[in-house]
Structure 1
Amino acid sequence: MKVKGDTNLCAEITGVSVALQIQCYQCEDVRQDDCSSPEFIVNCTVNVQDMCQKEVLVMEDGIHYRKSCASSGACLIASSGYQQFCTGKLNSVCITCCNTALCNGPRHKRRPACSSPNTHCHLGACCHTIWDKLSQ
């Protein structure tokens, strides 16, 4: 079986295209990333919603999350349009898109191996950005 591209999500099997359905977490205005449990998993619309979207909003009462299925075009436009507002400060909005099953769930904590506590950052290898903190 040969799989074409990451965003296409169509498998070509002996000349026949078979649509694959992605699963995403879906919730509206949830605090503390609570919607990353099985009851929030949805099957996205085949051949229409080929990505998962995650919005992180920093508000006065805390961090709010919105998660959903999305079309690649709409999601990529939204994420690039809000990039300037993704500061990690109060009233910021960060939108990310991904195209693997349940990829809009919680990020797994990962720490890069640094040689010492005073290691300088080189291309972000030992830096932890505000976005990493917001996405945990």
Structure 2
Amino acid sequence: MRLFTVTTFFLFFLESGLALQIQCYQCEEMTHNDCSTPEYIVNCTVNVQDMCQKEVLVKEDGIHYRKSCASSGACLIASSGYQQFCTGKLNSVCISCCNTPLCNGPRQKKRPPPSAASVPNKQHFSVLPLSILFLTHRNFG
């Protein structure tokens, strides 16, 4: 019965179109700004690119930014592989991954924690289907 409920819940989100496509900033080797303006916003590939990736490279001529859509697996592997090179010094390479819309843009100002009565928005559902699959696999697999 639990599997049926979880499957039904998952299919509801698939059919409703929630959290199946994310928007990210996308640019290559930007130096004069970090390409966090509307003209750099792209729609990522539905059901494939579920994360935003941000690379910050420190070179002799300044800080360079690369931003893109990514699959969660590829992004997490890349970010962990470059962790040792993320020093903030010359020739540093830092790669980060995130899964909410436009999260590879400028840092957001700290907001107060949402109240318990707040209504969930699309950002909260971006990892929900994956979580459901993980729990389903963990409990029944």
4+ runs deviating over 3 angstroms: 14-19
Match of 1:93 in 2: 93
| Distance (Å, rounded) in 2 between the aligned partners of 1:46 and 1:35 | 23
> Structure 1 residues 93, 42: closer, same or farther in 2, change over 3 A?
same
> Structure 1 residues 33, 106: closer, same or farther in 2, change over 3 A?
farther
Equivalent residue runs for 1:9-48 within 5 Å: 12-13=11-12, 16=15, 18=17, 20-48=20-48
Q: Is it true that 1:63 corresponds to 2:70 in the alignment?
A: no
| Distance (Å, rounded) in 1 between the aligned partners of 2:87 and 2:62 | 15
Which structure has greater strand proportion? 1
| Distance (Å, rounded) in 1 between the aligned partners of 2:14 and 2:42 | 29
- TM-score for both structures, normalised by structure 1: 0.67
8 A contact 1:51–1:71 mirrored in 2:
yes
Identity of aligned residues (%): 80
| Distance (Å, rounded) in 2 between the aligned partners of 1:89 and 1:62 | 11
Q: CA deviation digits over 1:60-93, x for unaligned, max 9?
A: 0000000000000000000000000000000000
Q: Structure 2 unaligned runs (5+)? A: 1-8, 111-141
Q: CA deviation digits over 1:86-117, x for unaligned, max 9?
A: 0000000000000000000011355xxxxxxx
How far has the Cα of 1:13 moved from its partner? Answer: 1.7
> Structure 1 residues 13, 58: closer, same or farther in 2, change over 3 A?
same
> Structure 1 residues 11, 33: closer, same or farther in 2, change over 3 A?
farther
| Distance (Å, rounded) in 2 between the aligned partners of 1:93 and 1:21 | 27
TM-align CA RMSD: 2.3
Which structure has greater helix proportion? 2
Equivalent residue runs for 1:75-114 within 5 Å: 75-108=75-108
- TM-score for both structures, normalised by structure 2: 0.65
Q: Structure 1 unaligned runs (5+)? A: 1-9, 111-136
Q: How many residues are paired up?
A: 101
